[in-house]
Copies of this chain bind each other. A is one copy, B any other.
Amino acid sequence: MNISDVARDTGLPPKTIRYYEEIGLIRPMRGDNGYRVFRDSDVHKLAFLGRARTLGFSIEDCRTLLALYEDQDRASADVKQVAQDHLDKIEDKIAQLQSMQATLKHLVRECAGDNRPDCPILSDLAKG
């Protein structure tokens, strides 16, 4: 398989696939013409990576998860730890965004949004 076939099948852009090779997540073979040749195992890994990225795991987490996936002797506890840590980070992020959301909603509601210059949004930013 050539890179654009893999891109179609995995939903990852060719650029991203090349990047994943560059940082050592995959090691596709090369044909005589220098083209990458992807085996099923490469495609499988890329699909795995794509789904992990969709769940928001960092590239380093993905690397860890892939290693665990390939280690038949892994402990599920190790996988769970990675996922739990990531979940915690996501929940922190959500809380942070919800705090911004609450403030912004309030300010937007208070702002007349007309031709006059008076604006509670700017007043708030100007004086905390």
Interface majority SS (helix, strand, loop, mixed), chain A: helix
Can you tell how many copies of this chain the complex includes?
A: 2
CB contact list, A89-128 vs B, under 8 A: 90-91, 93-94, 97-98, 100-101, 103-105, 107-108, 111-119, 121-122, 124-126, 128
The interface on chain A, measured as residues whose beta carbon lies within 8 A of the other chain's beta carbons, has a size of 53
Q: Give the residue of B80, B91, B111 whose beta carbon is less than 8 angstroms from that of A119.
A: B80
Does A17 lie at the interface of the complex (its beta carbon under 8 Å from any beta carbon of B)? no
Interface residues of A (CB under 8 A from B): 44, 47-48, 51-52, 54-56, 65, 68-69, 71-77, 79-81, 83-84, 86-87, 90-91, 93-94, 97-98, 100-101, 103-105, 107-108, 111-119, 121-122, 124-126, 128
